[in-house]
Chains A and B, each alone.
Chain A
Amino acid sequence: MPGKGSNGADPAGSRDRELWRRSRGVEARVDEAERFLDLAGFADGRLDDDDTARVAALLARDRAAAADVTAARALAEAAVTPADERIVVHALSLVDAGAGAEVIAFPPPRRVAAQPWFSAARWSGLAAAIVLASWLGFDLGSGFYEFGATARSPDDVSANELIDSAPLVLRDFTENSQI
């Protein structure tokens, strides 16, 4: 009588069967807190037979966890040397002295832009750069025209007038060709 108890009744019920079927399709969540307790309890020999067998099976497939258990057992019986005072002081500083068991948050990176003088200096700098760029552009432009006006020979001027489209429109080339 498959799936039935010795008295013919269903010992587990269809809900348990469904739960079992469902559980086999679910991937186990990694609950680290539970895992630490399992491993520590196993190392201390405090688990019941079922949990001992369960954790032993897990350790068989996780060599790092098995090494942790071995190390925990060894350290429980070993005399450890005192920690370096620098390590202790650093660890002490993690919890704020004034606020009970409050963990100190590391200060965020300093935001220079938040300071008012920096903002004013930044805008002033930008304005000065615009003024300087405008003046340089004007000055260079003036120099260019002065250069054009003074450095050209009369032949260049004539040639320029020939090439320049505006004078060509206005000038009457027939003037000198009259007979």
Chain B
Amino acid sequence: MDGGDPLAELLAGGRRSWDGFVRRYAALIVAAVRGVAAGSGDIEDLTQEVFVRLCKDDFRLLRSYDATRASLSTWLTIVARSTARDALRRRRPDSVSIDLVPEMHLKIDAVEPVPKLKLPEALLSPRQREIIGMLYDGEMDVAEIAAALGIDRQTVRSAHHKAMLKLRAHFKADMG
């Protein structure tokens, strides 16, 4: 589904490119939205919300797509589902009469909030966090960490190097 480069054409061109993009990916976006909102009866509206989001602010979201990291079809599916889910949450009434909720549902949390992450959890892999934690919090040296984890010393150094690059890049971007 990703033949040609419709995105490059779209971002460089005008109406005709948008036409091509819409005709090419509308079916995929509808299918992705339907996966989130099946039975809601709002498929058309939700699909439009996805398209609006894609072209909003001079295609800001579309411009963030990076072809080296994911295929456009997969990325669009993720974006469409997320957008549709957010829209459905906004439309949902804030409160429901307790009489309308089956008793069994009262025992379950209706909303599953995703706990906010600290920076290392968002940026680093579990192994990188573990190694950095052992190094700086556990005051262990490279040889001890390698022995404790059953990996070679070079792997420890490499993990440390990559992790610090990510943290430095984050703080540099944050400050700059």
Interface residues of A (CB under 8 A from B): 1-6, 11-12, 16-17, 19-28, 32-33, 36-37, 39-41, 43-44, 46-47, 49-54, 57-58, 61-64, 67-69, 71-73, 75-76, 78, 80-84, 86-88, 90-92, 94-103
Contacts of A6 in B (CB 8 A): 141-143, 153
| Least CB separation from A97: chain B residue | B15
- Cβ of B70 under 8 Å from chain A: yes
Q: Which residue of A lies closest to B159 (CB)?
A: A50
Distance in angstroms from B106 CB to nearest chain A CB is 20
Residues of B69-89 at the interface with A, using a CB-CB cut-off of 8 Å, are: 69-71, 73-75, 77-79, 81-82, 85
With A3-B136, A28-B121, A94-B52 known as contacts, the answer to whether A72 contacts B78 (CB < 8 A) is: yes
Q: Which residue of B lies closest to A38 (CB)?
A: B69
Interface residues of B, Cβ cutoff 8 Å to A: 1, 10-11, 13-15, 17-19, 22-23, 26-32, 35, 44, 47-48, 51-52, 55-59, 61, 64-66, 69-71, 73-75, 77-79, 81-82, 85, 112, 114-128, 132, 135-136, 138-143, 153, 157, 159-160, 162, 164, 167-168, 170-171
Whether B164 and A16, one on each chain, are in contact in the complex, defined by CB atoms closer than 8 angstroms, is: yes
Residues of chain A within 8 A (CB-CB) of B77 are 40, 43, 68, 71-72, 75-76
Known A20-B136, A36-B75, A40-B74; contact A12-B17, beta-carbon cutoff 8 A: no
